[in-house]
Amino acid sequence: MNVMFNISYGLYILSAKSEKANGCVINALSQVTSTPNRIMIAVNKDHYTTQQILATKKFNISILNEEADFDLIKRFGFSSGKDTDKFKDFKGYENAKNGVPYIKQGTNSYISAEVVETRDLGTHYEFLADVKEEVSLNEIPSITYAYYQANIKPKNTTQSKKVVYICSVCGYVYEGDPLPEDFVCPLCLHDASYFVKSEI
C-alpha cells in the first residue's frame, strides 16, 4: 500500500464568488501559523473556484460534519462550476461578512480568508491566506475521508469483485487496471496521485 494513503484528510467545501457564487470539495487544508492566524489550501488549477480566488483573493472554507450527506458532496464535488450553477435551488447556505457564501448544511463551522501569497505547484495552486473570520455553527464532529468512504459514500451492491481506482476527493470510480499515470478525474480534475486502488 502507498504510505501516502495513510495520511489523514478532512473534507471541506471551498467557496468563492466573482460574477457568481461557486464551490468545490477539497481535502488539502491546514493551519500553518497561529500568530498571524494563517491557513494554506491547495486547489487544482482547472477548478473554476481556483480562477475566482485568483481574481478576488477571497474564499471561505466550510468544514463538513458527520451530518453531511452524499447529495451535498455530490453537488459541490461532482460537477464543474464552469457550466453548472452549484448554488441554484440550494438553500443550505448564507453569505459571510466577506460576501462569499458559506455552507451551513452538513457543516460545523466556516473560515473566511484572504490570500496573501500564491504558489504554483504545477497542477495546483497553493494559497496562503490570513483568517479574517472563524465561526462555529455546532459541535457535530468533522468528517475525514475515511469516514466519508465508510459512512457517506453509497455502497456498491454487486457480488463480483473487481479492481478499481477511487478518487480520494470526490469518489469517482475508475474501472480498469492499471490506472494510467496521466489520468485526470473527469469530475473534480485531480490527477492520478489522488486515486486509491480498491476492490469492489
What pLDDT, on the 0 to 100 scale, is given for residue 163?
87
What pLDDT, on the 0 to 100 scale, is given for residue 2?
64
Flag residues of the chain having pLDDT under 70: 1-2, 4-5, 156-160, 200
- Global pTM reads 0.78
What pLDDT, on the 0 to 100 scale, is given for residue 189?
84
Cα-based distances in Å from 94 to 14, 83, 90? 14, 22, 10
The class level of CATH for 3-146 reads mainly beta
What pLDDT, on the 0 to 100 scale, is given for residue 103?
98
Domain with CATH 2.30.110.10 in the chain: 3-146
Domain 151-199 has CATH 3.90.930: no
Domain with CATH 2.20.28 in the chain: 151-199
